[in-house]
Amino acid sequence: MAQGDLTSALAEYQKALEANPQSSLANYRIGELLFTQRNYQASVNSYRDALRGDGEPRWTEVWSHIALGKIFDITGQRDRAVNEYGWRCRPTTIRRVR
């Protein structure tokens, strides 16, 4: 993706956040863009915001944890990465499926 495309995409997602500050999707997409720029700390912040957001769509929760794990692996923080990869397996996060 060209730098101009990244800048315009980031601007669009920031507009979406102005309209809905709790948008998990907008925060997730911002995290993806920042990741492609290797801005890992800002990317982590955006993925964390996605997790604290409205939870829509639901897949943003799982993929935010996976993305966080990937960043922690890249930055040599394997224990934190494993924690993110395994978040769903912890007894407090297992949900009953109906």
- What are the residues whose beta carbons fall under 8 Å from the beta carbon of 69, sequence distance 6 or more? 80, 81, 82, 83, 84, 85
Rounded to two decimals, the pTM is 0.85
Render each residue's pLDDT in the chain as its tens digit; 98 residues: 566 788 899 999 999 999 999 999 999 999 999 999 999 999 999 999 999 999 999 999 999 999 999 999 999 999 999 999 997 665 555 454 43
CATH numbers and ranges of domains, the chain = 3-89 (1.25.40.10)
